[in-house]
Amino acid sequence: MGAMTARPGVPRLASLLRRRREARVGTKTSGRQRGFTLVEQILVGAIVAVLACVAAPALGHLVVRNRLQIAQSDIIAALQQTRGMALQSGRRAMLCPTSDGKQCADGVHWEAGWLAGGYRSDRADQLDAAPAFADRGHERLVIISTAGRKRIRFQADGTASGSNTTFTVCRAGEPDGALVVLLSNAGRIYGKKASEEQANRCATDR
């Protein structure tokens, strides 16, 4: 009977030893998992850093291209709006560059902004009243019009006085990606990519 009562302790001891062994194995496994996760984090961080370095120039190029396209669209809109003023009012209207947001400037640079409104033939270089609308421009860019075309004048029938005019938009010193807006004497307005000559002239004209 004494031998039989001692036997139940053996399974209990074996069970206890097995649990302790499993606990040690679990601790080692957990340690390995933590170490592997740390390595993964380091690798992921390195990959992200490399991708960021690769993507940064492309992202910068995209931002610049977007600025150029916005400026091109703004010029087209300003020309269309000025032409619309002339057609609707039956009076001549003018678009001009400005440096102070109040008066027309003397030059072919438009990046500081522009003004639009009516004008009189005896004072054709300035608006005859407060601007009908104004734009602050795009000072991070270069916007130039055809040499000698400091004013864009529309007749009451929507035609543009003088020769055809080209606006070129670019970054200073960077001809890549330059865009143009063209205005014909008939009043047609459209945009396209600048030619190499136009882009180079714009990039070096400050």
Q: Using DSSP bridges, classify how beta strands 174-183 and 142-145 pair: parallel, antiparallel or unpaired.
A: unpaired
Successive 10-residue mean pLDDT values, the chain, 206 residues: 49 63 55 61 77 68 92 98 96 95 93 94 83 90 94 96 94 95 96 97 89
In single-letter form, the type of residue at position 68 comes to L
pLDDT at 142: 97
d(CA 138, CA 142): 8
Which amino acid makes up residue 30? S
Domain ranges for the chain? 47-204
Centre a 10 Å sphere on the Cβ of residue 132 and count the other Cβ atoms it contains. Answer: 16
Strand order across the beta sheet in which 165-171 lies: 142-145, 165-171, 174-183, 189-193
Residue positions counted in the chain: 206
What local confidence, expressed as pLDDT, does residue 70 receive?
97
The token duo for 132 is 């009908």
State how far Cα 134 lies from the chain centre: 22
The token pair that represents 83 in the structure block: 């032409």
Helix (H, G, I), strand (E, B) or coil at 36: helix
pTM for this entry: 0.72
Q: Which CATH superfamily is domain 47-204 in?
A: minor pseudopilin epsh domain (3.55.40.10)
Strand bridging mode 142-145 / 165-171: antiparallel
Q: Residue 6 has what pLDDT?
A: 47
